A and B are shown apart, each in its own frame.
Chain A
Amino acid sequence: MRIDLDVLRPWSVGRVAAALELHPFEVIRVLVAADALPSDLRLHPADVARVVDAGGLEVWWGPGDAASQLPEELIPVVARRLLERGVIDPVWTRSDNVFRGLGPSGQATVRRALNGWIRSGVMGSRMSARGLELTVRAGAVEEFSAVASGAMSVLGLLDDSPLGDER
């Protein structure tokens, strides 16, 4: 049997990031904010849970979710989940929680929708030590309810570049 030393090796920042669908620099940011970054930059499987807790990471989408990536079907689900999870000012959530677990196409669609909501002022955004966070403005709950029920069109949201586009 050929033994791979990697199974004995501590986890790298990149490995933890991959496990959490985060950029490694985000893992660094969360661990620094939690004062939990080891001086040798070597992590352990338990650090995954630590990053999840300290960074406020949530998984909103499982493998069976969002079979459709069509904006007119996906965005109402996003609006519904924002309301169901109570992400209404003053409750904030990480922006990547909203699309973590979706495929690339679904993620791009949700980012564009979030960007549209922020631009129109119905959603607030702020940068914190944990990363970019979002909230539904208290005065916009009715509008989000209309989107969630399909009573309001969402296609106008997708005119701009995606939220969090890093380049």
Chain B
Amino acid sequence: MLDDVATWREQAGREAEAALAAISAEEDAVARAALEAERRKSALAAIRREEEERLASLDDAALQRKRTSVRTSLKLDRALLEERAAALRRAQAERDAEAALVLDHPSMERHLLAWLEARAAAAAARETDVERRLARDVRQALAPYIGVAHGPPPSIGLPCAGVGVLVSADPPVGVPEAFVMVLPVPEAVYTQASTRAEDLCTLLAYRLVAALYRLLGELDAAGAPVRFETVQGNLAIQVWLGDQLVPDDLRERAMDAVAAAVDGAPELAAAGLEVYAVWLTPDLLAEALT
């Protein structure tokens, strides 16, 4: 009996020790897991801080990207426009040269002189029946060449591309006091108008200036002061509206005015260009281009 008790004691002791060992192992595992969790928690906290900082800086980064984008777009659009202007000039010169070759014939001199005389008579409003008949005959003879001279510009055959006109008003919401357009054309279109040859850039400027004056007329603000300025070498137009009673839908009207001004423009179609207005807040425009 005593031996049984001793055996039981020994076995129970072993079992208890094994249980304690298992508990210790489990405790060690829990401790390791807790340590790992602590490390993980600490790492997550660091990541959280980084993400929170990144989130906080996103607005600034977005604004910086927008500024860069505005500057880059304007630069690229102007380069594209000038490239297409040069291509259109070459195409026009080639077509003119072909037409001039045919015109360069002795018989044409008589027709041309008669046509010029008839045109001068018409301009002086002293046409007679004879002159009118002469003008008709000469027009018929010169019709093919007049067709070239009066026809639309030749297509340069390049794929269609878009260029943007930057438009803004201050304040951006409510009744505006100032209106700005930045055109993707060189300032020389304005500052050297009397010496610089008219090209695609010039014609685009004419259309947009016409759009502006038309818009001001519609707004009953034709007397608003208009200034032509330079922004990074590009032509910019500033209008002071502070003394005018301008409605608060200037943005929509301006976008429509630009779209109408370039709609169906033959030289833009020939150059494969679509022109569209890009509305920017005044602070973005100012920060991007200064």
A23 CB contacts on chain B under 8 angstroms: 190, 193
The digit string for B198-229, where 1 denotes a CB below 8 A from any CB of A, is 10001101110110011011000011111010
A46 CB contacts on chain B under 8 angstroms: 123
> Does B103 sit at the interface, judged by CB under 8 A?
yes
Question: Residue on A with the closest CB to B142?
Answer: A8
B96 CB contacts on chain A under 8 angstroms: 5
CB distance from B144 to the nearest CB of A (A): 11
CB distance from A53 to the nearest CB of B (A): 14
> Does B188 sit at the interface, judged by CB under 8 A?
no
Count of interface residues, chain A, beta-carbon cutoff 8 Å? 35
Complex interface: stretch among B30-38, B82-90, B104-112? B104-112
Determine chain B's interface SS by DSSP, over half rule: helix
A2 CB contacts on chain B under 8 angstroms: 100, 104
The digit string for A10-26, where 1 denotes a CB below 8 A from any CB of B, is 10111001100001110
Count of interface residues, chain B, beta-carbon cutoff 8 Å? 45
B115 CB contacts on chain A under 8 angstroms: 8
A8-B151 Cα distance, complex, nearest whole Å:
11
With A1-B106, A39-B264 in contact, is A10–B150 under 8 Å at CB? yes
Task: Please determine whether B123 and A33 come into contact, CB atoms closer than 8 angstroms.
Answer: no
A44-B202 Cα distance, complex, nearest whole Å:
18
Task: Please determine whether B193 and A33 come into contact, CB atoms closer than 8 angstroms.
Answer: no
> Does B116 sit at the interface, judged by CB under 8 A?
yes
Task: Please determine whether B223 and A126 come into contact, CB atoms closer than 8 angstroms.
Answer: yes
CB distance from A149 to the nearest CB of B (A): 34
Across the A-B interface, how many residue pairs have beta carbons closer than 8 Å? Answer: 97
A39-B210 Cα distance, complex, nearest whole Å:
10
Task: Please determine whether A166 and B206 come into contact, CB atoms closer than 8 angstroms.
Answer: no
> Does A119 sit at the interface, judged by CB under 8 A?
no
CB distance from B208 to the nearest CB of A (A): 10
With A1-B109, A32-B213 in contact, is A7–B190 under 8 Å at CB? no
> Does B57 sit at the interface, judged by CB under 8 A?
no
The digit string for A115-146, where 1 denotes a CB below 8 A from any CB of B, is 00000000000111100000000000000000
CB distance from B102 to the nearest CB of A (A): 9
Q: Please list the residues of chain A having a beta carbon within 8 angstroms of any beta carbon in chain B.
A: 1-5, 7-10, 12-14, 17-18, 23-25, 28-29, 31-33, 37, 39-42, 45-46, 126-129, 166-167
30 residue pairs of the A-B complex, CB under 8 angstroms, read A3-B112, A4-B100, A5-B145, A7-B112, A8-B145, A8-B149, A9-B150, A10-B149, A12-B198, A13-B198, A14-B198, A14-B202, A17-B193, A23-B190, A24-B206, A25-B193, A25-B205, A31-B210, A32-B213, A33-B217, A33-B222, A39-B265, A40-B152, A41-B207, A127-B222, A127-B223, A128-B223, A129-B213, A129-B216, A167-B191
